[in-house]
Each structure stands twice: as structure tokens, then as C-alpha cells.
Amino acid sequence: MDAVDWKDWMPPALVYFKKFKSQPKLVSEFLKRLERVSYYLLITIGGFNARLEKFRSLIEAIQRDDFDGDSSKLEAMHLSDKEMKDFREALNGDIYSKLPKARAALVLSLEKLMNDQSAIFEYRNVQIEHILPQRPAKNSDWLTLFADQEIRDDWTHRIANLAPLYSRKNPAASNYDFNKKKEVYFFGKDNTTSPFALINNLRGVEVWTPEVLEKRQKMLLDKLYKHWELN
């Protein structure tokens, strides 16, 4: 949750850890549920007051003498059917332009889900790159593959079209056609492996089309829905 741009989740986490630090399984389950609630508030743009109330009530529930550490019993951890629906719809929509404070956190959360869970990664100086460029050049293959502007606009800022990239990469390459972009921008001329799983799984993709995006979108959302129990 370090990528979340506010730290309101930390007080309930510290209160819980202080009380149940000798029970690592309970702590792990609590943190997963806390992550889910935190990302719900982040992705659905829950305001400061909503966060304050949510986490205040969570702290109060944890501090109760009769609370045994089972985080599934905490009402503040639950999402209603409507909240889960809103969460899913936000995840499936425009992540980049509508959720500027959430886009990096969300992409890096996906990166961790797709990567080796036994490994520890620190993501610093990472930017979020569009695969299909935001403003394709007039003579580019992009405008042939995405000739319908409405379809192009629909896909440009969604999660399937976003990938993490170290910021030292040359920004002039962002408008390259797909195969050149893969060679120069994502993998390098020596075709080295990227540290990012979301980029490495582009290696076998020959052409970037709406159909490829649709398939990738489903795959990525399925991972998030499963992780956050949104089905």
C-alpha cells in the first residue's frame, strides 16, 4: 500500500499490529482486507471525510476488548454489493486521466500480482507509459490499427494499455509504432528482459489491436477481482 498517495491506512494497521503482532496469519489477513478497502477508497475517489470515518470506525472496532483479531468480523472492512460494483466499474474505466493519483499505485499493484510473489521489488523512479500512444503520429501504424477514433479513445487510458517504465527511458520513443517501441523503449536493442512482468508479457505480442487490448483487459481485471474478492 506504499504506493497509495495518502497514509490514512497506517493508524489502523499500527493499532492492529500492536494488539495481534504475535499472530502473523491474522496480521496478513487483516492487511489484505485493509488493502482492499484502501484501494476502494482510492479508486472510487473517496474523499478525506469518507476515509477519516472509515478508518476511525475501524480503529474503534479493533480496540474493543471483545475483538479477537478476526478481520472478517470488522464491519468497516466490508464492501456492499453497490460498492463492489462501483469498484469494478472504476477499475474497468479510464484509469490514467480520471484517476491520476491512483494510476501508478494500481499498475504497480498489478505488477506485484503478476510477478514472483517470493521476490521483493522496490519501484522507484517509475512512470506509467501508454502502449497505444495518447497522440499517435498522423502517418503511424497506430491510426491504421485504431482507425476508429472512438475505439482508440476508449482504450487509450484503460489499464490494459498502461505499463510501468523507468523514467530514465527516452520520452521521444513513446510515439513509436508497436514493434519498434518494444525493441527500443521496453526491452532495449539487446532484447534484455525487463524488470516488469507487465512488459515482459508483451514479448510474444506481434501487433497491438483492440482485440488484444480486450483480452489483456479481461486478464488483468480477473487478477484484481480475484485478489480483492470483487466477483
The pLDDT > 70 percentage for the chain reads 90
Q: Are 136 and 175 in contact (CB under 8 A)?
A: yes
Q: With left for phi above 0 and alpha for psi between -120 and 50, is residue 21 left, alpha or beta? A: alpha
Q: Return the pLDDT at 183.
A: 78
* Domain range annotation of the chain: 10-78, 103-227
61-112 pLDDT, tens digit each? 999 999 999 999 999 999 999 999 999 999 999 999 999 989 999 999 999 8
Confidence of residue 55 (pLDDT cuts 50, 70, 90): very high
Q: List CB contacts of 155: < 8 A, sequence separation 6 or more.
A: 132, 146, 161, 210, 213
Q: What's the mean pLDDT in 17-32? A: 97
Give the global pTM.
0.90
3-state helix, strand, coil in the chain (%, to 5): 55, 5, 40
Q: Return the pLDDT at 99.
A: 93
Lowest pLDDT segment from 41-50, 57-66, 98-107, 189-198: 189-198
Indicate whether 125 pLDDT > 70. Answer: yes
Lowest pLDDT segment from 129-138, 158-167, 169-178: 169-178
